[in-house]
Amino acid sequence: MERLKIGLIIGNRGFFPDHLCKKAREKLIKNLSKKFDLIYLSEKDTKFGSIETYQDAKKCAELFSKNKVDGIIVSLPNFGDERGVADTIKLSGLSVPVLIHAFPDDINKMDVKNRRDSFCGKISVCNVLYQYGIKFTLTENHVEEVESEQFNEDIERFEKICKILKGLKNLKLGAIGTRPDAFKTVRYSEKILEKNGISVDVLDLSEVFARISRIKNNDKKVKDEIKKFRDYIDSKEVPIQALIKFAKLKIVIEDWIYQNDIKGVGFQCWTSIEENFGIVPCAVMSYLSNFLVPSACEVDITGTLSMYILQTASDLPSAIVDLNNNYKDERDKVVLFHCSNFPVSVLKISKISYQEIISGSVGKENAYGAVIGSIKKSPFTFLRLSTDDNMGCIKGYLGEGEITDDEINTFGGVGVAKINELQKLLKIICENGFEHHTVINLSKIKGSVFEALFKYKNWPIYLHE
């Protein structure tokens, strides 16, 4: 994965013990360089490479701007100069996440030569950043040692925030086909998305079919894609003609994605493609999602956006699911289901078969492509974003739960999720007009996602606890 560029600010205030800046800077560079491409002033640029004066701030701001850093970490080995820190960020002209860290004092070294007062300085820095309108993230504890486990956890969380915000810049999603007429629930506003820097490119299914028609069955690319599908998932039940169609569809979609820099797609999965091409596209969508091109069914573009954000934070595939059924009379459990297009990495055992619901209307021979399997037992994060025309914004809900090992005898892709206070969440979903789809990712990342979307993007997000 591409490493983030992170700018490092060492705050300093001259009449405090500035020798502490030198040791702190060395510790920070050693620690943070393992994870990031770290951008910082040298000791030739300023005293100990720290920031104190306006001239220091100008030098550092220019360095950050030139390197287009993805985030900024501010560390205070002593009280620090709040103006220097704030001016650096302001002058850089960058709108990126900012993490504020401060070193703890040693209670046995409170003399003039060793006393830090970073505890107090952090409050002062945050006050001025607030005045400047600069958003920032705090460490879990007010002061932390760089070698501590908590500091490393905070850095992991901050990295995810930076990745989300970077991923949302100039994001392009793709809508393939039109939404099923019966599903007004997945309507979305392109204009609200565009206002938030997210564009949607469209591709009509007729264009897809036309491009497919120009690919010969014995083309080497087709043979290669069939092998990839057979390596990816058990496809023994699938007729060769259906596998050929999967291969051609994947070739056309991936070419369009590549040519247009698309990061995720929503697909018209029923029933035009079954009636005009003779497959369900779920296996192709599953493959794309599994290799980090999130693919949502029923042209659910804001579902695709939700998949992309969770994937970006975790580096793991996301799955789009229906909040589909009650599980017995257990009020904190829900059956998650789709027909399905789940990425195989979220499933215990999987295979491709025909889609049992649609086969009743289009025929079994036209319905191969559904991914069948049960979701792995795992903690997970769920996220649902939606464009709200009444509010004129992107809104959402977010939380964590657990996929259980409860078994269900049914078809498609399925799993049972336990979510604390589920009935409360369902009321929130219904009363605020959210879709029947939600998105899951087998990771625990709600803190980073909430900070990125609520604080830095200003999206109203309900955090379910």
Q: Are residues 241 and 151 in the same domain?
A: no
User: H or E element: which one contains 357?
Assistant: helix 356-362
Question: Which CATH number do you get for residue 158?
Answer: 3.40.50.1070
pLDDT tens for 153-179 read 999 999 999 999 999 999 999 999 999
Over the chain, what is the mean pLDDT?
97
Q: How confident is the model at residue 193 (pLDDT cuts 50, 70, 90)?
A: very high
Give me the count of residues in the chain.
465
Residue 180: the pLDDT is 86
- Tell me which of 131, 152, 167 is where a domain ends: 167
pLDDT tens for 384-418 read 999 999 999 999 999 999 999 999 999 999 999 99
Segment 25-32 mean pLDDT: 97
Q: Which tokens in the block code for residue 428?
A: 């929130």
Q: Is the pLDDT score of 1 beyond 90?
A: no
Q: Are residues 155 and 180 in the same domain?
A: no
Q: Are residues 343 and 225 in the same domain?
A: yes
Torsion angle, CA of 15/19/24/30, rounded to 10 degrees?
A: 150
Q: Is the pLDDT score of 305 beyond 80?
A: yes
Could you tell me which residue, 236 or 19, shows the higher pLDDT? 236
Segment 69-81 mean pLDDT: 97
Q: Are residues 399 and 422 in the same domain?
A: yes
Residue 182: the pLDDT is 86
Residue 113: the pLDDT is 86
d(CA 6, CA 159): 9
Q: Are residues 219 and 340 in the same domain?
A: yes
- Counting the structural domains of the chain, the total is 2
pLDDT tens for 89-112 read 999 999 999 999 999 999 999 998
Residue 279: the pLDDT is 98
Q: Are residues 150 and 202 in the same domain?
A: no
pLDDT tens for 340-380 read 999 999 999 999 999 999 999 999 999 999 999 999 999 99
Question: Which CATH number do you get for residue 239?
Answer: 3.40.275.10
Q: Are residues 315 and 251 in the same domain?
A: yes
Residue 112: the pLDDT is 86
Q: Is the pLDDT score of 268 beyond 90?
A: yes
Q: Are residues 107 and 176 in the same domain?
A: no
d(CA 58, CA 75): 18
Q: Are residues 139 and 197 in the same domain?
A: no
Residue 418: the pLDDT is 98
- In sequence order, the 6+-apart residues with CB closer than 8 A to the CB of 382 are 398, 399, 400, 401, 417, 419, 438, 439, 440, 441
Segment 256-278 mean pLDDT: 97
Q: Are residues 269 and 375 in the same domain?
A: yes
d(CA 348, CA 285): 18
Whether 367 contacts 412, CB under 8 Å: no
Residue 14: the pLDDT is 77
Mutual angle of helices 301-314 and 149-167, in 10-degree steps: 150
Residue 275: the pLDDT is 96
Q: Are residues 206 and 284 in the same domain?
A: yes
Q: Are residues 249 and 119 in the same domain?
A: no
Whether 394 contacts 407, CB under 8 Å: no
Q: How confident is the model at residue 16 (pLDDT cuts 50, 70, 90)?
A: confident
User: Which residues constitute the domain of residue 105?
Assistant: 5-167
Q: Is the pLDDT score of 63 beyond 80?
A: yes
Segment 423-446 mean pLDDT: 98
- Tell me which of 145, 167, 189 is where a domain ends: 167
Phi, psi of 15 (to 5 degrees): -85, 5
Rg of the chain in Å (alpha carbons): 25
- Tell me which of 115, 144, 167 is where a domain ends: 167
Q: How confident is the model at residue 188 (pLDDT cuts 50, 70, 90)?
A: very high
Which of 13-27, 131-145, 295-309, 314-328 is the least confident region? Answer: 13-27
Q: How confident is the model at residue 266 (pLDDT cuts 50, 70, 90)?
A: very high
Whether 284 contacts 245, CB under 8 Å: no
